[in-house]
Amino acid sequence: MRYQNTYTNLDTRLYHRQPPTPLDNPRVGHFNTQVAEQLGWNDDDDLMTRWVEILGGHYVPAEFAPLSMAYAGHQFGQWAGQLGDGRGLLMAQVLDNNDQLQDLHLKGSGLTPYSRMGDGRAVLRSTIREYLCGHALNQLNIPASNALGFVVSDTPVRRERMEAGAALMRVADSHIRLGHVEWIASFAPDLLAEFTDYMLDTYYSECRDSDQPVLAFLQSVVERTARMIADWQLIGFAHGVMNTDNLSITGSTLDFGPFGFMERFNPAWINNHSDHTGRYAYQNQPAIGHWNLNVWLSHFMRLTQDGVTRDSLAECLAVYEPTFMQHYQQGLCAKLGLPHQSESLKLAFEFLTLLEDNLLDYTNSFRALLALVAPEDCPYEQQLLDTLVLELGDNANNEIGTNADTNISTDAQQVWQAWREEYLAQISLLDKAAVIVSLQSNNPVYILRNDMAQRAILAAEQGQFEEVARLYELLASPYTVQDRAIELDTTAPARNARQQPISCSS
């Protein structure tokens, strides 16, 4: 691998250099060959043969420079003070085969000076969820951390019950969070200029060409964050804990805890069991992104160089909403295979209302549109469409039809029929092949439903990792109908079953 350990050049107040604490008897969970190739990990025999030892904390290659980072943050809207890597270490920074800097971060690696009351460990359950989610988002083309692999061990970890300790080698373009700057502002304000230079040169070097590099950098962070959150909304992803310490400065999804993918469409859905007020509900994510960036940007007021003023910072933040809207609306139209214009948006919002009113599955319903456009070529999508129409009938508690053309007798079905006609009228004006490509490439067949992850976890807790491996393969090509899928991979929960919130314990 091409090492580039630059974080260690920064002021030593920002981190603590230390090795991981070994796990007891680490064993293979899963290894991500794609990521190994991207990093050049697979070109090194020592790394390939000893990867379980490395992830288990028993062996630290000489080129690694492990350290825990200090950061702070606002959790659920409240200032939380110093946080930091309490159970993870930045192990190394490397250039991948696209010359992009990547952090290798071992999560679950034991105590650090930032562990506070925690034990420094991660359990198998949350490790598998993080492993599969990072992979799923990457394959859905959403900026996100990924992982090289994970190990399980005999180290006991106490949560609500005793569980097995595990460790994940997370790979992300950066582990600098918005909360890093909050830490500096509170505990080492003299480092702000140096740290800003580091962020700028390392992750936003193109901004050096601007007349005002710092402002260009800050605005780019705002734009990338807005686009990432638009991507989340479009795919139906709820992060669950959008605290400022969980948002990366690169606009890449980080820290998977009580996340979830939308199943039956409910914009007010809260996936985090501890989120009593719904602060991080799916529909609040865009506003929370803005709130977090506002907190973050205000700290740069201390920098008096480079045109940074209260007004110029406000201008950076003002870019958030139009960037989000542009990306979200364009993406929504693309999910219908339509051009970005007001007629398409009207149809898109009507479709979302239909899904919400009838609690239809978000992923399956969008994918079902392929059967309207190309019924002869899409047998899988035809089944989805049949289910959609069946459920519309069910919802009105009325006689139901089994396909889109019969028994249009209920209110919901009338709304659907009218929508469908309007949609097909708009489609008829377009190049059909291009519409099909747009539908296929913007509407996945497979997302990581909570129950899918849960089944893989239950098997893994019995020592069986085949289901993790199967889901890894399935989610590697989320836009392609695959034989390895089982019916449960694409089945929405029962309509009256509330989507189960996920516990924060991990």
Helices (H) and strands (E) in the chain, counts: 17, 13
Q: Per-residue DSSP letters for 314-366?
A: HHHHHTHHHHHHHHHHHHHHHHTT--SSHHHHHHHHHHHHHHHHTT-BHHHHH
Q: Among 380, 385, 480, which Cα is nearest to 423's? A: 385
489 part of the interface to Mg ion, by CB under 5 A: no
Residues numbered 418-457 forming contacts with ligand AMP, rule: CB under 6 A: none
Of all residues in the shown chain, the one whose CB is closest to Mg ion is 255
Of 2-10, 64-72, 247-255, 383-391, which part binds Mg ion (CB under 5 A)?
247-255
Nearer Cβ to Mg ion, position 130 or 255? 255
Nearer Cβ to ligand AMP, position 57 or 120? 120
Nearer Cβ to ligand AMP, position 125 or 264? 125
Of 78-86, 187-195, 417-425, 483-491, which part binds ligand AMP (CB under 6 A)?
78-86
Single-letter code of the amino acid located at 482? Q
Beta bridge partners of 166: 122, 152
Site track 232-261 with ligand AMP (rule: CB under 6 A), x = hit: ---------x----x--------x-x----
Q: How far apart are CA 95 and CA 341, in angstroms?
A: 41
Of 85-93, 187-195, 314-322, 391-399, which part binds ligand AMP (CB under 6 A)?
85-93
According to DSSP, the β-strands at 78-82 and 72-75 are antiparallel
Q: Is 117 helix (H, G, I), strand (E, B) or coil?
A: coil
Site track 184-223 with ligand AMP (rule: CB under 6 A), x = hit: ----------------------------------------
**Element of type H or E holding 288:** helix 285-298
Nearer Cβ to ligand AMP, position 70 or 215? 70
Q: Among 416, 410, 406, which Cα is nearest to 353's? A: 416
Interface residue with Mg ion among 32, 93, 225, 246 (CB under 5 A) is: 246
Nearer Cβ to Mg ion, position 181 or 412? 181
87 part of the interface to ligand AMP, by CB under 6 A: yes
Q: Among 346, 326, 334, 331, which Cα is nearest to 434's? A: 334
Task: State the angle between helix axes of 320-335 and 310-318 in degrees (0 to 180), rounded to the nearest 10.
Answer: 10
Number of amino acids touching ligand AMP (CB under 6 A): 15
Of 143-151, 246-254, 454-462, 470-478, which part binds Mg ion (CB under 5 A)?
246-254
Contact 94, 3 (CB under 8 A): yes
Closest approach, Cβ 118 to Mg ion, in A, equals 11
286 part of the interface to ligand AMP, by CB under 6 A: no
Of 77-85, 208-216, 328-336, 475-483, which part binds ligand AMP (CB under 6 A)?
77-85
Please choose which of Mg ion, ligand AMP, none residue 312 contacts, taking the beta carbon within 5 to 8 angstroms, the exact cut-off set by kind: none
Please choose which of ligand AMP, Mg ion, none residue 264 contacts, taking the beta carbon within 5 to 8 angstroms, the exact cut-off set by kind: none
Half-sphere exposure of 304 (CA within 13 A, CB side): 1
Interface residue with ligand AMP among 86, 339, 375, 493 (CB under 6 A) is: 86
Contacts of 18 (CB under 8 A, 6+ apart): 66, 67, 68, 89, 112
Nearer Cβ to ligand AMP, position 113 or 339? 113
Nearer Cβ to ligand AMP, position 117 or 429? 117
Three-class secondary structure assignment of 174-233: CCCEHHHHHHHHHHCHHHHHHHHHHHHHHHCHHHHHCCCHHHHHHHHHHHHHHHHHHHHH
Q: Give, in degrees to the nearest 5, the angle at Cα 447 between 227 and 376.
A: 105
Closest approach, Cβ 490 to ligand AMP, in A, equals 30
Contact 295, 178 (CB under 8 A): yes
Nearer Cβ to ligand AMP, position 87 or 180? 87
Please choose which of ligand AMP, Mg ion, none residue 115 contacts, taking the beta carbon within 5 to 8 angstroms, the exact cut-off set by kind: ligand AMP
CB-based burial of residue 128 (10 Å sphere; 0-12 exposed, 13-18 middle, 19+ buried)? buried
Q: How far apart are CA 352 and CA 336, in angstroms?
A: 11
Burial readout 47-75 (b: 16 or more C-beta within 10 A, e: otherwise)? beeebbebbbbebbeeebbbbbbbbbbbb
451 classed as catalytic: no
Nearer Cβ to ligand AMP, position 73 or 331? 73
Site track 91-130 with ligand AMP (rule: CB under 6 A), x = hit: -----------------------xx--xxxx---------
Closest approach, Cβ 404 to ligand AMP, in A, equals 45
Torsion of Cα atoms, 156 then 150 then 202 then 192, to 10°: -10
Interface residue with ligand AMP among 84, 258, 260, 286 (CB under 6 A) is: 84
Number of amino acids touching Mg ion (CB under 5 A): 2
Closest approach, Cβ 72 to Mg ion, in A, equals 12
Beta bridge partners of 93: 103
Closest approach, Cβ 243 to ligand AMP, in A, equals 7
Question: Which of 85, 96, 173, 245 does the annotation list as catalytic?
Answer: 245
85 part of the interface to ligand AMP, by CB under 6 A: yes
DSSP state of 498: P
Site track 248-287 with Mg ion (rule: CB under 5 A), x = hit: -------x--------------------------------
The catalytic residues are 245
Contact set with Mg ion (CB under 5 A): 246, 255
Contact set with ligand AMP (CB under 6 A): 83-87, 114-115, 118-121, 241, 246, 255, 257
